[in-house]
Structure 1
Amino acid sequence: MQQLIQPNGQPHYGIFPGTPATINYRDFDFRSPMGRRLGALSKWRSFHQFQYFGLISPTLIGGCALADVSLLTIGFVYLYHPESGRMIERQFKCPLGMGSNFSQTPNDGVCELRQGRNLLRLENGSAPFEKRLLVELDDGTRIDARFSEEQPAFQPMSLCTPTAVNGWVYARKVAGVHCSGEVRSALGNYDLRELNAYAHHDWSAGYMRRETFWNWACLSGETEGRRVGLNLSCGVNETSFTENCYWLDGQLVKVDTVRFEFDRDHPLQPWTIRSYDGQVELHFEAHGLHQERLNLGVLASNFKQIFGRFSGVLRPAGQAEVRIENLWGFVEDQYAKW
């Protein structure tokens, strides 16, 4: 598929075997809830895009995100050392996207934020299918991490769902892939291949709900001699289709809707995550937290990303159960108004 938006102004909907070459959102026939056609200014204000790259290993955990919500570009990066509990985290905000650049080509483009001597850069390459994270901070922290979807072969989750009365969201998810590169920081210097680190990646864009929330879970690692990755969500990308899935040795296994059970006032207490079809039954024990709060009236966010360890079981149809024992990963609880 070359373009997500068809000549009639409507998106292709569904779960795709591949990735659209271009998210040509300006060609969308965007209308008000009452059917009035909306122009370029409304399209710019209502289109949002974000990208996330996560690192997972028992020795070092990290995450970097960029989000373009038209009036503001937001970026964050953190590194967490589980053994010591030490953490490095930085946040950046660029009004009207100044100092940032976002590509609408998920497999071949660059998204980045520059502020002073700080750089957050996410590169997506098509030959080979490689994702790269480059972070350079003014305190000397440097992250250069990458993974490939070709060796061994990997099948991403790629889908587009209707959203609210007049929108849509495209998302591309990857988890359970080996990661290479290096990290230099006050927490130490690390070779990610030597750490046997894993990565996960999220590229999402669209005309999202003006006010929304979601819960999300992701893990990556090895269990019973198999590479495993997981991507589950509740509250977003659930109209007609869902992004819920896991990967066994790079092969995608689709999952039905899921339920997150946790104490919102005490998010570091244990979580339970179950799928309606019985394929997923997991418990999550928190070890650390990255959180942000923003309330500017027209824009607001209450974001908690919690890292810890999962235990439980995956039950792929026609295969033996896959036991999950203390695999590192993430959960999220987020409210957003944009």
Structure 2
Amino acid sequence: MRSEPAQPLSGPPPALLTPDDAPHFGAWAGCMPGVDWRALRQPRSPGWLDFRLRHKRWQYIAFAHPDVFVGIAVVDLGWAAHGFAYAFLRGQKQLVSIARDGLPHAARVAQPLSDAAAHLPGLRIDMHAAGGKMQVSVRSRRLELDAELDLGAMPVPACIVAPANLLAHCTHKTSAIPANGRLRTAGTTLDLCACHASIDHSDGLLAHDTRWNWASAHADGCGFNLQAGYMGDAENIVWLEGLPYKLGPVQFDYNAADPLAPWQIRSHCGNTQLRFAPEGLHRGNKNLGIVASRFVQAIGCFSGHIGVPGSACMEVSAVLGVTENHASRW
């Protein structure tokens, strides 16, 4: 039997919630008109305290450049704020990072692929979208960044709404966005002209214990987002010719005791096989009892292939990106 040609994702529904106030679960191409869970009634209506404790929002931006990989995040946990910025200098294999926590009002994450800000002790992050551009600024003693993303040249983003591990979660992922800027860190200034950026915006009602493995890499003509954990295979996406296609489940094989050893990522059906060669690590381990966070984010290059049923495999060769093993009690 011949398989049907692969079809890209279709456009999103007119609203996040259905007429009976249930989540519009699914995967789409484009942005949801708005993300607001306050009217949620099904599968159940969260009370005020439950909503405050379980509502998590973040916006993460990565910059991939031949000489450096930069990761920046603004995180609104509902009851607290968090922000981080790091730069991995590939030639020196040196990581410069800063992370700070604060009160809830210190972080703000707006609608998908738009504004976010964290103003924390010793760290200020601002992301502002207007006129088809996004301006990104980081200020700290260890690292400073000024960058601009060309949202008008962005491949079609993917929007996923899924039950996740509690009620519902909405995430928007982008592929490679043309970007430029300037990074100042470790006593040097780097021109980020003609680099690629990607954005991850997430907003949902998540369980106290949330765990995942994640892989993401984007360049001209190549982009993918893979996950195993709290979202299942819901956000597994590959971009072909600038359009997002849905992928099935994947398995992450790696040495947790030595995350700098090679990783393998395979689809259950066998049509996706990626090798990941780590070059450096961004990691954290915080345990405050009822609240904890442990993560390892490896920076390096992917090679192999990604297969979409009904379509030719996309070959991947030395594409810079990240893998992650993350566990949070939040």
8 Å Cα contact 1:308-1:328 kept in structure 2: yes
8 Å Cα contact 2:74-2:109 kept in structure 1: no
Counterpart-to-counterpart distance in 2, 1:2 and 1:147: 27
1:167–1:320 Cα change, 3 Å: closer
- Aligned residue in 2 for 1:5: 17
1:38–1:255 Cα change, 3 Å: closer
1:231 paired to 2:234: no
Counterpart-to-counterpart distance in 2, 1:303 and 1:265: 12
- Aligned residue in 1 for 2:67: 59
Moved more, 113-122 or 314-323: 314-323
Counterpart-to-counterpart distance in 1, 2:271 and 2:178: 24
Equivalent residue letter for 1:326: A
Query: Cα offset for 1:161?
Result: 0.3
Counterpart-to-counterpart distance in 2, 1:116 and 1:122: 18
- Aligned residue in 2 for 1:330: 322
1:106 paired to 2:106: no
- Aligned residue in 1 for 2:126: 121
1:314 to 286, 301, 306: 306
2:41 to 26, 29, 36: 29
Secondary structure (helix, strand or coil) at the match of 1:41 reads: helix
Q: What's the TM-score, normalizing by structure 1? A: 0.87
- Aligned residue in 2 for 1:73: 81
8 Å Cα contact 1:289-1:306 kept in structure 2: yes
Equivalent residue letter for 1:19: C
2:250 to 224, 234, 258: 258
Counterpart-to-counterpart distance in 1, 2:54 and 2:310: 43
Query: Cα offset for 1:68?
Result: 1.5
Matches within 5 A, 1:1-338: 1=13, 3-29=15-41, 37-95=45-103, 97-103=104-110, 105-108=111-114, 110-116=115-121, 118-125=123-130, 127-128=131-132, 130-139=133-142, 141-151=143-153, 154-164=155-165, 166-193=166-193, 196-222=194-220, 227-238=221-232, 242-317=234-309, 319-338=311-330
8 Å Cα contact 1:177-1:250 kept in structure 2: no
Provide the aligned length of Structure 1 versus Structure 2: 318
Query: Cα offset for 1:120?
Result: 1.0
Counterpart-to-counterpart distance in 2, 1:46 and 1:148: 33
8 Å Cα contact 1:313-1:321 kept in structure 2: yes
1:336–1:191 Cα change, 3 Å: same
Secondary structure (helix, strand or coil) at the match of 1:247 reads: strand
1:5–1:318 Cα change, 3 Å: closer
% identical aligned pairs: 25
Deviations along 1:195-228, one digit per CA (max 9) or x if unpaired, are: x321111000111122121000011224xxxx21
1:234–1:265 Cα change, 3 Å: same
Equivalent residue letter for 1:148: D
Counterpart-to-counterpart distance in 1, 2:274 and 2:183: 30
Query: Cα offset for 1:172?
Result: 0.4
List runs of 5+ in structure 2 lacking aligned partners: 1-12
Deviations along 1:296-326, one digit per CA (max 9) or x if unpaired, are: 2221111111101111123345555433222
The structure with higher relative contact order (CA 8 Å, sep 6+) is 2
Secondary structure (helix, strand or coil) at the match of 2:163 reads: strand
1:321–1:24 Cα change, 3 Å: closer
1:29–1:156 Cα change, 3 Å: same
Counterpart-to-counterpart distance in 1, 2:243 and 2:65: 21
8 Å Cα contact 2:222-2:316 kept in structure 1: no
Secondary structure (helix, strand or coil) at the match of 2:24 reads: coil
Equivalent residue letter for 1:26: R
1:98–1:313 Cα change, 3 Å: same
Secondary structure (helix, strand or coil) at the match of 1:269 reads: coil
Counterpart-to-counterpart distance in 1, 2:310 and 2:25: 29
8 Å Cα contact 1:145-1:182 kept in structure 2: yes
Secondary structure (helix, strand or coil) at the match of 1:183 reads: strand
Q: What's the TM-score, normalizing by structure 2? A: 0.88
1:317–1:11 Cα change, 3 Å: closer
Query: Cα offset for 1:147?
Result: 2.3
Equivalent residue letter for 2:87: L
8 Å Cα contact 2:29-2:243 kept in structure 1: no
Secondary structure (helix, strand or coil) at the match of 1:27 reads: coil
Deviations along 1:133-190, one digit per CA (max 9) or x if unpaired, are: 2111134x32122323432x511110100134x5101000112232222222235222
Query: Cα offset for 1:272?
Result: 0.2
